[in-house]
Structure 1
Amino acid sequence: MAVLGPSGCGKTSLLRVALGLDAPTRGTVWAGATRLSADGQVLVPPERRRLAMVFQDLALWPHLSVEAHLRFVLSSVGVPKRDQEERIIRMLEQVELQERAAAHPGELSGGERQRVAIARALVTEPAAVLLDEPLSNLDLRLRRELLGLLKGLFAQRRMTAVYVTHDIREAVALGDRIAVMNAGGVVAVGAIDALRGSPEPLVRELLEGLTWSGL
């Protein structure tokens, strides 16, 4: 699911409520048949929701190597040490960082740092991953490359992902469905072809001028 909308419309707040960092003032957050938040209360804390997050600023730890980033989060969720090595090797291969395992964030390129953040989120095998405009600071070539990587990883793992963006090209490239937000609410949900026929002015405005030769 790609969540598309202008700055300030509530996209990041949506992710914070899903993570359990904020409680919804009304409504209920569900994961399958489990209520996570309701009636202004967080019922299941963030650490028990099995959700992973890729932040816009990446939030990498400068003193940890690429491998140590993955080992730290695996230890934090209780993965036995005997199983960590196999997961780390497999994950680094999937994001093509196996040759950079010993490097620290300050020694990596922007695209490589993005790959570390993605690997750190996925290595714990979460129930779902939330991504808050993770590619907004990259050039077009790197964005295209990493969108392809994300799409392949999500398909391979058959996992739920919610990708927040203000760029319609990213939403179309990655989202099986797109939710369009405005002023704190969702105004339309669907595949791109269905959204093109939406009566909502904001949806039509966002779709106008879409260049299919971009991403």
Structure 2
Amino acid sequence: SNDNGATWTNIGFSGGTHYGRSIVIDPNDSNTLYVALYNENVWKCTNAAAGSPSWTQLTTAPAIVEEMRFVETTIYAACGSSGIYRTTDGGTTWDSLNGSFIDTTQSMWQAVDGYVSGSNHIVFFGCDNGITPGSDGARSIVKVSIDNVGSIGYTDVSSTTANVDLTIPPEGRSWWYGTATSLEWYRVSSSFWLKSLSFLSLSNSLDCWTILSCQPPLPV
């Protein structure tokens, strides 16, 4: 869409059944897109503005990629039960960042965000057993999950140099806000049980959520 969503044009994957998990635009080249399809690796397009964009499957990527984020020219990826990965060469090769302590037997890694701090990348990964930040390209990682909140999954992470916002799905019934420096977390809503998916906004006081009046349509 080039008219703020009023109309849409299909640019790929129209045949068969495909389940899109994540899409990122190269911040250095708006014609280059990366799309993660469930159990189909990652696909790359370098001519997105063309009338008929072409796609190349990056078969060296993990089969399942739940979410991708660019930090400078590096793509970091949360890859379900495969753990966490990155690519520094446009998707040609993918490096595992799991080390010896990342749980890939019981955890589903599904959220990632990050930013630049000096010469380092500060990257946050979320899974159903916790949330983990890593510095220096995620080679150095510590767990900063919330204690004693029951069995919940972290489906989205948003980070800045000062704060980390953690989004828990409606069935988790709570939303959290944290500081990246002190690694302390604060519950900003104690109860959410939405019958349908909703987009929400948060006031500056961190204690008042509002269901937005304009919602995207549910899938058909």
Same fold by TM (over 0.5)?
Answer: no
With normalisation by structure 2, the TM-score equals: 0.29
With normalisation by structure 1, the TM-score equals: 0.30
Structure with higher helix content? 1
Structure with higher strand content? 2
